[in-house]
Structure 1
């Protein structure tokens, strides 16, 4: 119990109750806990923006290529993107300090640039403007993920290490290191792979819609195919490692192995059909759907990984409460 101090000044009795240091400790922890929750929510919103902008790029390129089948989806997606961005901006402002004012301004300007008179853009401008916007969003996600690597309090590091020492399973591994690896996988490695496929989707959709590929975009597509194959190989090894560390906590890791055949089918279709130099037989809508189905599986794994990080975040509260036990 805190002792009340009494002093007398010029005959006036003044009582003073010192601030309990434990109250400050609780306040600091709760503030850190809330900020991390807000950061996780913001990461999710940014990822949803990335996914929507990638889809917007692919659909708009199909429309620029002359395939009117995409028009209905485009109108709906455009409206959703407006709402997503407005919600993201409002949320970022309400939590304060997680995204800088410059970041928020850059996002708004990037979207306005894409949205205005997009029908008059040539293929390269449309592709690059979308890609730059996505790069900005992904940079913010990665920056926030690096913040999530840090423990809420130094004491929790020791608590996690003790828990790992008591774990009888062969997968025993310090929680902090698990979190770092999971965040790097779902905030950097997987999103990079998704963006490679999304770029292939956009350029492939345009080529199939127009029925031809000019030399610059032929070179760009071939480069993207090569990068996608290389990235897929690295991703498979990292997924296997991560599965050995977190077990079935991210169920979709096993799906990535099964996805390789479908990915190779997409890449080979682009290589042997779209880039064949002869008549393109695949329809732009078919290519778009095939790539989108793949991308959705990858995004599902990202969401599962972030859900695991959020569960660990909730576990931190319980671990912190037990520190005094």
Structure 2
């Protein structure tokens, strides 16, 4: 694959990415049947260089999704089961003494993979959560003053159970803000669930997921798509959405600047996946919920009335005038 750098993205490059995105999504869907919209969102985060928070009940395919994505891109996947007694070194790695050489060597932890499934992340103590937060943001693990970079691409898929909250530690706003987007897989449609239940079918088996690309190509496309054109009216539209959330009466905390930047970044990847070399307002509207809703903090009164952050965000977005196409 040949890519131009430092120049506008060409039509052939957009077409090539759209085809690659479709191939990766098709491959993942051989394991996670009937969840194309969720797969597309996870791939948007991957190509945008971000991380995903899946808020779902057990048994809906979160582990399958993470492993299928890793298989499709030809990378490594690791799973970490978060528990209250999990230590930061269990996630990032630690220094160990090698008696054969007499040297202290760094033993990498499970974060040194392309796709890391942080299962039930809210069951770990704050110190362990902070260790993961650091590597998510910095893309390095520092042990004994030495920085060890993780591989690229680096996608953390964090999960938490929204129902069983016994023995959990609420994710602080600072850590929620590190996840580029939040979504949920949900239960499959009955026809797709029958395919999974049918004896002898390959549905839901990661072993059947073909490798259709490589980590290097994913990284190259991620850098290329960061230059995709975003018109000034679209940037103002995003900024006005952010301002609307900060002025919303039912919110104590509106969208952060990091969240708005993530919305623009996801919009670039999403537009290219649709075959366009520019972002349109409908891209921002489609992605606003997954990218911004989990970053909002409701007032106590709003929580008591059962309002969700997604509902408040939708109301805020509806008050912002949609930019018209330039003549």
Give the TM-score of the pair, scaled to structure 2: 0.29
